[in-house]
């Protein structure tokens, strides 16, 4: 029997229709004067980052909300970026702030991330937001792991009591992913580059999340039959972090690459911006 395909692209499109209706209602409540606004900050001229920012702006347009594009030169200092973030924090018409990662080397990225007001941290990158999320308090979750959680929920994947293995420990993916799964009552193992006996640990996974950043690093033979496989990687050639092709007939469910996790990341960013807008405008 073929595995269930966890189609992030389809879920993102369905969610956009729902968000469009929410944005329309918000505009109506303010007599057309206000709409949720996401401010995107792009520092430097990295082409990949510029593409990601453009995609996020396009997603805003599709649901009828606005984006405020802030572009700063690659020579920007930490102090200059902090000043711009503070300006956006103080702007009552801005409901979400996204600082595109990575920033040029001379900037203290963590300091700048943490300067974003918690109520506008719709990308879930601040230490305060991470701490609140990990404690089960109200916070906007980091966009990719939160998107994965929304995808698993939409397809009715049972998490409570299951053994989830997360391969990767980055502050914006692996670590928050593990805490979200733990908060959903899964038993969680976090693996990384120095983990010993990695194949044996992966073999135990009822739910596997590949977030290691290396193409097809996780081999199909390491994964047990009937597992739920989530691949958060994307590399040239259209492959992820997991060797997926041999798995499609023996796992319970999997995210395709592309079209699985990727669309849910941007969708979650927009979803959380609309939520922030509703709290301020509504």
Is 108 an annotated catalytic residue?
A: no
Is 106 an annotated catalytic residue?
A: no
Catalytic residue among 56, 84, 120, 162, which? 56
Is 100 an annotated catalytic residue?
A: yes
> Strand, helix or coil at 205?
coil
Picking from 209, 249, 250, the residue whose alpha carbon sits closest to that of residue 231 is: 209
DSSP secondary structure letter of residue 96: E
The tokens of 46 are what? 């990295």
Rounded Cα distance between 212 and 238, Å, is 16
Rounded Cα distance between 143 and 151, Å, is 12
Catalytic residue among 7, 34, 84, 100, which? 100
Rounded Cα distance between 140 and 148, Å, is 14
Residues 6+ apart with CB under 8 A from 16: 59, 62, 63, 267, 270
Catalytic residue among 7, 123, 206, 231, which? 123
Rounded Cα distance between 64 and 252, Å, is 37
Catalytic residue positions, numbered: 56, 100, 123
């Amino acid at each position: 029997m073929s595995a269930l395909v966890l189609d992030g692209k389809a879920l993102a499109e369905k969610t956009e229709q729902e968000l469009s209706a929410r944005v329309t209602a918000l505009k109506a409540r303010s007599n057309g004067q206000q709409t949720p606004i996401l401010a995107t900050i792009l520092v430097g001229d990295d082409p990949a980052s510029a593409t990601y920012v453009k995609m996020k702006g396009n997603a805003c347009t599709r649901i009828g909300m606005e984006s405020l594009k802030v572009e700063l030169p690659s020579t920007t200092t930490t102090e200059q970026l902090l000043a711009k973030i503070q300006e956006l924090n103080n702007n009552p018409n801005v409901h979400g702030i996204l600082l595109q990662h990575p920033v040029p080397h001379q900037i203290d990225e963590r300091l700048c991330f943490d300067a974003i007001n918690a109520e506008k941290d719709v990308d879930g990158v601040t230490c305060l937001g991470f701490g609140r999320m990990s404690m089960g308090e109200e916070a906007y979750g980091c966009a990719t792991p939160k998107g994965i959680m929304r995808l698993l929920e939409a397809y009715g994947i049972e998490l409570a009591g299951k053994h989830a293995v997360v391969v990767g420990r980055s502050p914006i993916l692996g670590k928050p992913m593990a805490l979200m799964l733990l908060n959903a009552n899964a038993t969680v193992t976090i693996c990384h580059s120095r983990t010993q006996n990695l194949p044996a640990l992966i073999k135990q996974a009822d739910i596997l999340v590949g977030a290691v950043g290396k193409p097809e690093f996780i081999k199909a033979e390491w994964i047990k039959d009937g597992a739920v496989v989530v691949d958060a990687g994307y590399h040239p050639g259209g492959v992820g972090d997991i060797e997926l092709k041999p798995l499609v007939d023996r796992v319970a469910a999997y995210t395709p690459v592309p079209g699985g996790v990727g669309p849910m990341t941007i969708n979650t960013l927009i979803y959380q911006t609309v939520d922030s807008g509703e709290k301020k405008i509504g």
